Structure 1
Amino acid sequence: MIDIHCHILPGIDDGAQSMEDTIKMARAAVDEGIHTIIATPHHKNSKYDNPKELIIPKVEEVNKALTSEGIDLMILPGQEVRLYGELIEGLENNEILSLNHTQYVFVEFPSNHVPRYAETLLFDLQLKEITPIIVHPERNQEIIERPEVLYNLVKKGALTQVTASSVSGHFGKKIRNFSFQLIESNLTHFIASDAHNVGNRGFKMAETMDLIQSKYGNDLFYFFQENAELLVQGNHVYQDTPEPIKKKKFLGIF
């Protein structure tokens, strides 16, 4: 498996705090069948700034450490960018790091709302041939309450990535059920761990992909697997036509 969202780089955000933590996470990833991880440290959120020039050497350092430890895992460079008004300028100034130097860029919304300028900015990214991937929309309060907001963004070309732990229920029943709705409505294109440690924010990828295979069958199982591979290669990923989520159905009110 390929995990496209992980906070495995040591000492730069709220993920691994030391190289020892990084090694523990790497061993846990391999145990789950993960062979490649895109490291995606936070950038431009309220606590952390991790520009491209800082991330690249960190990735090289970690890969050397994994080789010396005999751990068969490849780390690729990436970034989890909190949406901000000057994101385009950040790209032009070589501060923003796409996922493995491809056309795909992670975009994170604040947890409780979607900024009003999000639609315009995501469209502007696409005009520059950058494909935005909205991370963990299933945990955004406004999207949970108004799923049509996400539908509109996906319909206009944005992609999304749902967290494995959300699907498997580790963030609670409400978020699990909403994650299912996103999957069933073709409103997500990737499943990734967003792992921060080996404890309460672990990978949960093997468990989640097994769940997806048993609940939805092989087609969707391979859809998510292959999309991660296509992303790493910088190729176009699979997209099915998105469908709006009926809020009343989601809330169980008929």
Structure 2
Amino acid sequence: MFNFFKRSGKPVEPDLSFIGIDMHSHLLPGIDDGLQELENSVAYIKDLKELGYHKLICTPHILSDLYPNSPQTILPKLALVRDALKAAGVDIQVEAAAEYMIDHMFSELLAKSKKEDLLTIAGDYILVEMSYLSPSPNFDQAIFDLRMMGLQPILAHPERYSYYHHEFEQYERFKDLGCKLQVNLLSLSGGYGPHVKKIAERLFKNEMVDFLGTDLHHDRHLAMLKSLATKKEFYDLVNGAEILNNTLIK
């Protein structure tokens, strides 16, 4: 897959086309802690297309009172971005789902929702996260409830939950519960620190990573992503991994 490094020993232009579909980003403007201006959304999406992506699934936070998003707030932003891309002549497929924080409000949401009420990825996947400060006490029950609804949970950036760094067996337990695991590309770049990078690499070496996401929020993230896409050690790590991004075609 990545033989272009072997001839000269030097990387070519940044290329993430082997991932194809990004399923975790914060590119919809003015809706969470990601991009705030529509023109930046268009510019970032242009850059991601140049990196080789052909489909982007934007995932704004849904987080209690801080980012109380819903289909009613997210889908109009998606339409706005699609119109702006069309006007700018940028031909790329852009969809929207959400990144759901598993907290007490999420449990309440599930209790009153049907599968079709939730913002899912490719119909059957749902992206969830926990706080960086402590585990969600209702995590197991929430995963069970999602599975009973016919949804496949994807746990976002498990490598960033530092309270599990010395309990690697917890990542195996997530898999046993039925979670897919999504690692941030920025974790592999060292952008969140050496301890996060170490866990992300260990997850890869143990063949536990199902999806890769950009989790793009701002300029620094984009710069780190472009830099990572030129690193031979990155391609050596992910080469041969069974990443499922390109299966998200619905």
TM interval, short-chain normalised: 0.7 to 0.9
| CA distance, structure 2, for counterparts of residue 210 and residue 33 of structure 1 | 17
SS in 1 for 2:56: strand
**Counterpart contact for 2:146–2:153, Cα < 8 Å:** yes
**Counterpart contact for 2:162–2:196, Cα < 8 Å:** no
SS in 2 for 1:177: helix
Q: Is 2:196 the counterpart of 1:175?
A: yes
SS in 1 for 2:165: helix
| CA distance, structure 1, for counterparts of residue 149 and residue 226 of structure 2 | 32
| CA distance, structure 1, for counterparts of residue 136 and residue 183 of structure 2 | 19
**Counterpart contact for 2:115–2:151, Cα < 8 Å:** no
Are residues 18 and 153 of structure 1, via their aligned partners in 2, closer, same or farther at CA, if it must alter by over 3 Å? same
Relative contact order (C-alpha < 8 Å, sep 6+): which is higher?
Answer: 2
Are residues 68 and 147 of structure 1, via their aligned partners in 2, closer, same or farther at CA, if it must alter by over 3 Å? same
Q: Is 2:39 the counterpart of 1:20?
A: yes
Q: Which residue of 1 aligns with 2:111?
A: 89
Q: Is 2:52 the counterpart of 1:30?
A: no
Amino acid at match of 2:100: V
**Counterpart contact for 2:31–2:74, Cα < 8 Å:** no
Q: Is 2:248 the counterpart of 1:231?
A: yes
| CA distance, structure 2, for counterparts of residue 93 and residue 123 of structure 1 | 14
SS in 2 for 1:6: coil
| CA distance, structure 2, for counterparts of residue 126 and residue 136 of structure 1 | 20
Q: Which runs of 5+ in 1 are unaligned?
A: 234-254
Q: Is 2:143 the counterpart of 1:126?
A: no
Instruction: State the Cα distance separating 1:9 from its structure 2 match.
Output: 0.5
SS in 1 for 2:113: helix
Instruction: State the Cα distance separating 1:155 from its structure 2 match.
Output: 1.4
From 116, 125, 130, give the equivalent of 1:109: 130
Give deviations 1:20-70, integer Å, cap 9, x for gaps. Answer: 111121122122111211010000255211101221222122111101101
Aligned residues: 226
| CA distance, structure 1, for counterparts of residue 197 and residue 118 of structure 2 | 31
Are residues 216 and 20 of structure 1, via their aligned partners in 2, closer, same or farther at CA, if it must alter by over 3 Å? closer
Q: Which runs of 5+ in 2 are unaligned?
A: 1-19
Identity in percent: 26
Are residues 184 and 116 of structure 1, via their aligned partners in 2, closer, same or farther at CA, if it must alter by over 3 Å? same
Are residues 90 and 8 of structure 1, via their aligned partners in 2, closer, same or farther at CA, if it must alter by over 3 Å? farther
Q: Quick check: 42-51 or 163-172, which moved more?
A: 42-51
> RMSD of the alignment, in Å?
2.1
Are residues 157 and 205 of structure 1, via their aligned partners in 2, closer, same or farther at CA, if it must alter by over 3 Å? farther
Give deviations 1:100-126, integer Å, cap 9, x for gaps. Answer: 4x1100101001222222112202211
From 190, 211, 214, give the equivalent of 2:236: 214
Amino acid at match of 1:228: N
**Counterpart contact for 1:3–1:36, Cα < 8 Å:** yes
Q: Which residue of 2 aligns with 1:141?
A: 162
Q: Which residue of 2 aligns with 1:201?
A: 221
Instruction: State the Cα distance separating 1:98 from its structure 2 match.
Output: 0.8
Q: Is 2:88 the counterpart of 1:69?
A: yes
From 163, 176, 187, give the equivalent of 2:208: 187
Give deviations 1:140-191, integer Å, cap 9, x for gaps. Answer: 1222232222211211211111100101212222111110111122322101
Are residues 200 and 91 of structure 1, via their aligned partners in 2, closer, same or farther at CA, if it must alter by over 3 Å? farther
| CA distance, structure 2, for counterparts of residue 65 and residue 194 of structure 1 | 21
Instruction: State the Cα distance separating 1:94 from its structure 2 match.
Output: 5.7
